[in-house]
Structure 1
Amino acid sequence: MSGPYDLPTSRQVSTAPLVAGIREHVDAWRRGGYPGASETSARLLEHWFLDEHQTPDGLEFRYYFAQREAVETVIYLYEVARHRTLPALAGQFASRPIASDGTPYPRYVVKAATGSGKTKVMSLLLAWSYFHRLREPGSELTTTSLVIAPNLIVFERLRMDFENGAIFRDDPVVPPEWRPDLD
């Protein structure tokens, strides 16, 4: 049996047509040391998931495997596989045909349960976008993001985490050598 920080020894089979194919590729990419990732992405992945971290109280801090897998998947699909549309994703990963949604914009979705750390995943992906744009020539990512909350309760929680950059300061989101670049 594995813990919440480790690669699961078994998984529930997903009925979603893209999940199995994407997981297989992302697992291989992780095992291979993230080949094809930009220097920025590779450094962030190393910092988040391989470097050791402590909480302000001195306790060990690690991201859950589900958080890691979500972040790795978005980075892999965008930067390594370079898929920006549903037809492109379906062409490589789908177990059955998927109709195009017609959108010209890249959209990535990760499924996560209540209490599984979606806010932490958001903070990592926001930091990835920010630093990728700063450090990678020609990056199409952005240094500015808009977070939309579905209701007041979630808004208040997000406000507490993101206000004045608290989550970027309190969690190990930014490598120490990049802190001066964070506005």
Structure 2
Amino acid sequence: MANQKLRGDISLELAKTISEQANNAFNAGSMFEDVTPTTRDLLNHWFGESYTDSRTFNFHEGQKQSILNVIYLHEVLKIKDVLDIYSKVDSDLIPFVNLADLKKEKYSYPKYAIKMATGTGKTWVMHALMIWQLLNAKHEDSYSGRYTKNFLVVAPGIIVYDRLLDAFKGKIKEGTQERDEKTNDFYSNGDLFLPEAYKEEIIRFIQNNTVTK
């Protein structure tokens, strides 16, 4: 069909609409009403002006957008599966997607992808989203099945794998094979990642639950 949109165009259009809706909800304050108290604490700490103005380092706009988009889909829209994203964000796109494909089992649960260029801080976004999931899993009043304490991080090669070990376990001490945990991302950038009320439990989790291949 002449007016048939390419699949890539649909994905980009969907992503743009998600960003617009997430920003509107955040800026209007309605997002804070729809998320959990734990998520509200994190959003305030990460993006509230009283915190960002007092820190040397903050998430840049692309990182902030990625974090907001995932939280918006998961907590505000309460997405159940990939097709649900289209239905709740922009149902006008549904006629242009492969419904048979999206109804496959591999798309039957909340599934999000973040596309960022090399060197733009994907690891920090991953840290934030893991903290968000972890703290909500630990602090929700009753089990919802929408948060987890279990994470599998897959690296595409040795260089990235070593960088991830630095991020979670700290850099190797000079002249040894031991890692200095106080050089990991969570210690080095604790003011950014860790609200004071949750700091100790996040640090303990990272120390006690990070394993290597």
- TM-score, normalised via structure 1 length: 0.83
Q: How does 1:66-77 map to 2 (within 5 A)?
A: 66-77=62-73
Task: Report the number of matched residues.
Answer: 165
Q: Who is 2:97 aligned against? A: 98
Which residue of the partner structure matches residue 39 of structure 2?
41
- SS across alignment from 1:114: coil
1:101 to partner: Cα distance: 5.2
- The structural deviation recorded for 1:90 is 1.1
Q: Which has the larger radius of gyration?
A: 2
More helix by share: 2
User: What letter matches 2:137 in structure 1?
Assistant: R
Alpha-carbon deviation of 1:93?
A: 2.4
Which of 164, 168, 182 is residue 162 of structure 1 equivalent to? Answer: 168
- Per mean C-alpha deviation after superposition, the further-off stretch among 66-75 and 14-23 is 14-23
- Which deviates more from structure 2 when the two are superposed, residues 93-102 or residues 156-165? 93-102
What letter is aligned with 1:75?
I
Q: How does 1:1-183 map to 2 (within 5 A)?
A: 15=9, 16-33=12-29, 34=31, 35-50=33-48, 51-52=51-52, 53-54=54-55, 60-94=56-90, 96=93, 97-99=96-98, 100=102, 102=104, 103=106, 104-137=108-141, 138-140=143-145, 141-163=147-169, 164=181, 166-171=184-189, 172-182=192-202, 183=204
> What amino acid maps onto 2:188 in structure 1?
D
- Normalised to the residue count of structure 2, the TM-score between the two structures is 0.72
Q: CA deviation at 1:170?
A: 1.8
Kept in 2, the 8 Å contact 1:90–1:98? The answer is: no
State the Cα distance separating 1:92 from its structure 2 match: 2.4
Amino acid at match of 2:123: T
Distance in 2 of aligned mates of 1:151 and 1:178? 32
- Specify which structure has the bigger relative contact order, considering alpha-carbon pairs within 8 angstroms and separated by 6 or more residues: 1
Structure 1 range deviating more: 79-88 or 133-142: 133-142
Q: 1:132, 1:139 within 8 Å by CA — same for their partners in 2?
A: no
Letter of the 2:114 counterpart: V
Output the CA distance in 2 between the equivalents of 1:17 and 1:31. Answer: 21
Q: Are the equivalent residues in 2 in contact too, given 1:44–1:128 (CA < 8 A)?
A: yes
User: Contact 1:87 / 1:98 at 8 angstroms: preserved in 2?
Assistant: no
The aligned residue for residue 6 of structure 1 is none
> Following TM superposition, by how much is the alpha carbon of 1:80 offset from its aligned partner in structure 2, in angstroms?
0.9
- Which stretch shifts more, 144-153 or 18-27? 18-27
Change (3 A) 1:160 1:101: farther
Please list every run of 5 or more consecutive structure 1 residues that lacks an aligned counterpart in the other structure: 1-13, 55-59
Asked if the contact 1:129–1:142 (Cα under 8 Å) also holds between the matched residues in 2, the reply is: yes
Preserved contact between residue 82 and residue 109 of structure 2 (Cα < 8 Å): no
Name the amino acid aligned to 1:112: M
Once residues 84 and 159 of structure 1 are traced to their aligned partners in structure 2, the CA distance between those partners, rounded to angstroms, is: 32
Give the superposed CA RMSD: 1.8
DSSP-derived class of the 2:78 partner: coil
